[in-house]
Structure 1
Amino acid sequence: MTARLRPALGLALAVALGVVASVAGAAWPTLGAPVFAVTAGVLLSPLANRWRGALDRGIGLAKGPLLQVAVVLLGAQLSLQQVADVGLSSLPVMLGTLTPCLLLAVLLGRAMHIGSDLRTLIGVGTAICGASAIAAVTPTIRAKDPDTTYAISTIFLFNVLAVLAFPPLGHLLELSQEQFGLFAGTAVNDTSSVVAAAASYGSVAADHAVVVKLVRSLMIIPIVVGLAVLVRCREGVAESAGRGGRVSRLVGLVPWFLIAFVMVVAMNSMGWVPDRSHEVIRLAAVFLIATALAAIGLSTDVRALRRTGPKPMVLGLVLWGSVTSTSLLLIWLTGDGD
C-alpha cells in the first residue's frame, strides 16, 4: 500500500462507521449516533489494532480536525437571543447544578484515584452536554482514547436511565410542563436524550427543554478556555516578555475551534445563518462527531479499559445523582418554570 493511500484508508473506515452510526442514531434517537459510533469502533478495535500502521494517520485525522470542525458547527444551533429569552432565567439552576458536579468530579475522582483526564471528561459530560462536551474537551486536554470511550459509555448509561425515570418522577412531583422542561434541560446530558425525556412529558416541556439545553451547551466555552489555560500551565509554558508577548500568550491559550465556535454563534445571532440550513448543519455536526467517535473507538485498547475497573462508573453515578437532586432542589427553591 502506498503512503498516499494510508491516510485515506483509516479515514474511510471511520467515515463508514460514522454513516452507519448516524442512520442508527436517527432510527433510535434515545441512544443517539455517538453511542452507536463509539460502540462500533470499540467492537472493531481488535481488528484495527492489527492494521495499526496502515490506519493510524486516517484515524488521527478523523478524531482530531474532524472532531474540532464538528464542535464549530454546533454553534449554528445557538443564538444570543435564546440566551436572553430563556437562558438568563434558567442560569441560576444551570450554574447551581454545574458547579457542584464539577467540584465533585475533581474531589471525589481524586479521592477514588481516577485519572485527571477521565474524571474531567465524566465531569463535563455530566455537567454540560454529554458526548458533545466530551468531544469539545478531548482535544483541549489531549485525553487518551480509552478515557474518552469510558466517559462516553458512562454518560450513555445514565442518559438511558434518565429517559426512563425522569418522566414518571416529574409526574410524581407534579412538575409543570415548563418546570419539567427546565429539569430535563439541566439534568439530562445529550440533546437526543433531553428531547426523548421531555417529549414524553409534553410538547411544551419539549420546546422549553431544547432551549434550556442549547443555552446549557454555551457553558462549553468557559470550561474549554479554563481547561486550555490549565493544560498550558501544567505543561510549563514560559512567560513571554512585554505586552505583546502577554497578548500572544493569551490568544494561544484559546483553541482555534473555540474561537470559530463563538464566531458561528455570533453569525447565527445576527441572522447570517439561514434557518433552512440549521437542520443540515446539525446533521453534519452529528455525522462528524459520530465519525470522530468511531475513530476514537477504533483506537481503543480494550485491555486498558478492563484495567480501569468500575470506579469511573461509580463516579458517574454520584455526579448524575448530584445534577438530578440539585436541579430539582433549585427549581423548587426558585420557582423557575412556573
Structure 2
Amino acid sequence: MKATPPVAAPSALVDAPEPHPRAAKVRTPASAPLPPAPSLLQEKTGSVGVARAVFGLLLIFCLTPWASPPLALALGLGLAQTVGNPFPAHTRKLTAKLLQYSVIGLGFGMNAHAAVQAGQEGVLFTVASIAGTLILGYGLGRWLGLGRHVTHLISCGTAICGGSAIAAVGPVLRAKEEEMSVALATVFVLNALALFAFPAIGHALAMTQNQFGLWCAIAIHDTSSVVGAATAYGDQALQVATTVKLARALWIIPVSIGTALLFKQKGVKIKVPYFILGFIGAMLLNTYLPALQAGGAWQEVGPLLVQLAKMGLTVTLFFIGAGLSMQAVKAVGPKPFVLGVALWLLISTASLYVILHR
C-alpha cells in the first residue's frame, strides 16, 4: 500500500503568497478528510489482509441496529489509529455521495410545514452567525499570521457546512492542495469532538428537542455530524437540525460568489449543492403524495427510506473516522487549529446563549 505524501508543514502556510491564477484546480471531495498514511502496524508487518478483515467486520456492524452515528465514528477513529484504513481512496470517494443520498432519504421522514417553521426560526441565526464567523475569522487569521487562503477556508467551513463549503470555496480561491488539506483536517477533527460532546451538553442543560436541533445546525460544521448528533438526541431534533443545516448550506452559493469578487478571481465555476433540491423534493412528496400517507398504498416506503438513510449516515461517519489518522491531525499544526477551535468555541457558546435565553 502506498503511503500518502505528507501535508506541507504549517509554517509554509503562514503569510503564504497567493497562488498563480493558472494554478491547478483542486478536486478535494466535499466530505473527505485527509487520506491516512499506513499505520505503524501495517508498516512493520505488512498486514493489509488483517486491516481489510477488521474494516469489513466493522462495516458490517455499522449496518446493524446496534450501531449509532457516534459509535460508528469512534470505530472508524479506532481503526485509523490501529491497523489503518485499507481503502482510503474508496472511502474518500464514497463518503460525499453516501452523505448526499442519506440526506435525500431523510426528507421522506419530514413534513414540509414543520420544516418551513424550523427554517424561519433559524434564518436570523444563520445570517448573523455566518457573517460574524467570517469577520471574526479574518481578524483572528491576521492576528495569528496565517495566509489569507487558509484563514478564509477555515472560516467558511466553520460558518457554513464544513468540508462541503471548503470544497466549494477552494477552487474559487484557486487554493493550493496543502491549504485545502489543512482546512479540511481542522474542521473534521472538530466535527468528531462535537458529535460526542454536543448531546451530552444538551442533556446536561435540559435543552428541548427544538433548541438542540437549532444549536446543532448552527454550531457543528458538517452535515454528517449535525445529523449524527441530532439523531442521538431525538427525532424532532433531527428534523429541525437537518432543515436548518441544509438551508444554511445554500449559503455556499453567495459566499462563493463573494469570495470570487473579494479575491478578484475571474472565470471560476461556482459549485451548487444540488442534493439539497433532492431533500426538498423528498420532503414535498412525503407531505403531499397521498400514497405515502397513512393508509396509502406506499405508506411503508417512507419509513423504510428513512431507515436506510440513517444506516447510510452511520456508514458515512465510520468512513470519516477511518480517515482521521494521527498523521492528519498532526499535519494541521498549531496555528490553523487555534483558529478553528477559537471560531468554533465562539460560535458554539454565542449561539447556545442566544437559544437558551431568547
TM-score, L = length of structure 2: 0.59
Higher helix share: 1
Question: In structure 2, do the counterparts of structure 1 residues 68 and 307 end up closer, same or farther at CA, with 3 Å as the change threshold?
Answer: closer
Residue 276 (structure 2) pairs with residue 276 (structure 1): no
Aligned partner (choices 11, 20, 23) of residue 58 of structure 2: 20
> Could you tell me how far 1:125 is from its partner in structure 2?
5.4
Provide Cα deviations, 1:184-212, integer angstroms capped at 9, x if missing partner: 5544562333344xx4xxxxxx4442222
Q: Tell me, in whole angstroms, the C-alpha distance in 2 between the residues paired with 1:117 and 1:23.
A: 40
Structure 1 match to 2:241: 213
Name the CA distance, whole Å, in 1 between partners of 2:187 and 2:248: 16
> What number of residue pairs does the alignment pair up?
280
Partner of 1:136: 164
Which secondary structure does the structure 2 equivalent of 1:254 belong to? coil
1:103-182 matches, cutoff 5 A: 103-114=135-146, 119=151, 122-123=154-155, 126-128=158-160, 133-140=161-168, 141=170, 144-145=180-181, 147-168=183-204, 170=205, 178-179=210-211, 182=214
The letter of the residue matching 1:263 is: G
Q: Distance in 2 between matches of 1:109 and 1:35?
A: 31
What are the residue-to-residue correspondences of 1:1-338 with 2, within 5 Å?
17=55, 20=58, 23=61, 29=68, 31-34=70-73, 36-37=75-76, 40-41=79-80, 43-44=82-83, 59-64=88-93, 66-73=94-101, 74-78=103-107, 80-114=112-146, 119=151, 122-123=154-155, 126-128=158-160, 133-140=161-168, 141=170, 144-145=180-181, 147-168=183-204, 170=205, 178-179=210-211, 182-183=214-215, 186-187=218-219, 190=225, 191-196=227-232, 199=233, 206-219=234-247, 221-226=249-254, 229=257, 236-238=265-267, 252-255=269-272, 258-271=273-286, 274-288=302-316, 290-291=318-319, 294=322, 296-297=323-324, 302=327, 305-306=329-330, 308-331=332-355, 335=358
Letter in 1 for 2:127: L
TM-score (norm 1): 0.62
- Which residues of structure 2 form unaligned runs of 5+? 2-47, 172-176, 290-300
What is the alpha-carbon distance in structure 2 between the residues aligned to residue 59 and residue 41 of structure 1? 10
State the identity as a percent. Answer: 16
Q: CA deviation at 1:260?
A: 3.8
Over aligned residue pairs, what C-alpha RMSD do you find?
A: 4.4
Please tell me whether the aligned partners of residues 195 and 229 of structure 2 are also in contact (alpha carbons under 8 angstroms).
Answer: yes
Deviations 1:76-126 (A, max 9, x none): 324644431322123223433343234323432343244666655654554
Q: After TM superposition, where is structure 1 displaced by more than 6 Å over at least 4 residues in a row?
A: 13-16, 230-235
Q: State how far apart, in whole Å, the 2-side matches of 1:208 and 1:263 are.
A: 21
For residue 44 of structure 2, what is the aligned residue in structure 1?
none
Mark the CA change 1:60 to 1:100 in structure 2 (over 3 Å): closer, same or farther.
same
Pick closer, same or farther for the CA change 1:146–1:158 going to 2, 3 Å: same
Which ranges in structure 1 are unaligned for 5 or more consecutive residues? Answer: 2-9, 49-54, 200-205, 239-248
Q: Give SS of 2:70's match.
A: coil
Provide, for residues 145-200 of structure 1, a one-character-per-residue CA deviation record: whole Å limited to 9, x for no partner: 454333211232344343434433x35xxx6665455445544562333344xx4x
Indicate conservation of the 8 Å contact 1:97/1:127, yes or no. yes
